[in-house]
Structures are given as C-alpha cells and as structure tokens.
Amino acid sequence: MKTRDDSSMLDENSPSWTLGGADHLPYKISLVAKLLDRKTTRMLAEEFGLSVAEWRVLAQLATCESSSVRDLAEKAWVDRAEVSRATASLVRRGYVKRHDNPDDRRGPLLSSTKSGQALFKKIKPRRAAFHKSLTSKLERTQISALEKALLTLAQLCVVDLKKDAAPAGKSRARAAKA
C-alpha cells in the first residue's frame, strides 16, 4: 500500500491554504503560526511537560538576568495574564523564582533557577533541531528573504499598533473622537 506524504495534505490548491484568496497573506502567516504552535505544543508537553507559554517565559528568563511579568509580556507581544499564569506554574515547579522589585513593589522581578537553567539547556538543542528541520528544504537565499520579509511585516505592525494606541489617560473611544 502506498503511503501518503504528509505534505500532500496541504499544498497550493488545498482549501485551507487558498481560503481568502491569493491576497490573504495574513491568513497564511496565521495558519503557519498555528501549525508551528501545534507542533511545538505537542513536543514541549510530551517531552518536557511544559506549555508553549511556559517555554517562552523560561526561554526569556534563561537568557536575561531578571524581568517582570510586564516586561516579558511586552517583549513577546502577549497578554500579561498569559505570562502571569505561566510564571506561577514555573514558580510552583521550581524553575523560576520571584524577587522584590525595587522599582515597582506591585510587580516582582523574576529569574530562572538552576533547575530552570538546566531545563532550558536541555530543551534548547531540541528546539534548534526542530527549527533546522523547518528550514532544511529552503535555500539560504529563501531563508534570508523570509527573515527579512517577516521582520518588515512585524515592524509595520508595530508602527501601526503604536499609532493606534490611545494616549495615556484616554480610552480609545475618547481618543478616536478627539
């Protein structure tokens, strides 16, 4: 019996890829991101017992001295509540510790523990291999072009988000009327 190549489940004519038409690039980027998140979720949960949010927090803390929930959320462009839940879980499991924040008593500083650093060092090569497997079918020029295109799109979004942000002390509805 002939086995079906998994990549044939998604090609340029697949309904899930053509949804929205050829001009719907954000949908395609979102689809790829969701597929990557599903693969990442499965690997992290099965091999290391972590959620994607926990991994992202651990990876950020393992590569910096300390940070607050607010800073972690802003760096990753995610909701503070998601970071807070992931952090609480990592603290309970001994991978992250809280410290008093001399600049803001409401928000403690967080840092990776020795066991958190060890877990990060265990996961990092596995993640690097996964990332390499994703680009193994691409030429260097394609990878470079993709990196540049994604950075440009991200920068455009950041500019628009900052432009759309309400001034301090005003709601968006009131800012829109002004």
| Average pLDDT score, the chain | 85
> Residue 172 pLDDT more than 60?
no
Q: Could you tell me which residues are beta bridge partners of residue 98?
A: 110
Task: Report pLDDT digits (tens) over 138-169.
Answer: 999 999 999 999 999 889 988 988 888 756 55
| pLDDT for res 13 | 67
| pLDDT for res 101 | 84
Choice between 94 and 26, residue whose per-residue pLDDT is larger: 94
| pLDDT for res 25 | 82
DSSP-derived 3-state class of residue 93: coil
> Residue 1 pLDDT more than 50?
no
Task: Report pLDDT digits (tens) over 54-83.
Answer: 999 999 999 988 999 999 999 888 899 999
| pLDDT for res 15 | 64
> Residue 19 pLDDT more than 60?
yes
Task: Report pLDDT digits (tens) over 115-139.
Answer: 999 999 999 999 999 999 999 999 9
pLDDT band at residue 2 using 50, 70 and 90 as cut-offs? very low
CA dist 114 and 101 (Å) reads 20
Given the DSSP bridges, would you call strands 96-99 and 109-112 parallel, antiparallel or unpaired? antiparallel
Choice between 106 and 150, residue whose per-residue pLDDT is larger: 150
In the chain, what are the domains?
Answer: 14-137 (1.10.10.10), 139-178 (no CATH)
Least confident of 12-26, 82-96, 111-125, 153-167: 12-26
Contacts 24+ apart (CB under 8 A), 61-65: 61/96, 61/110, 61/111, 61/112, 61/116, 62/112, 62/116, 62/117, 62/120, 62/121, 65/111
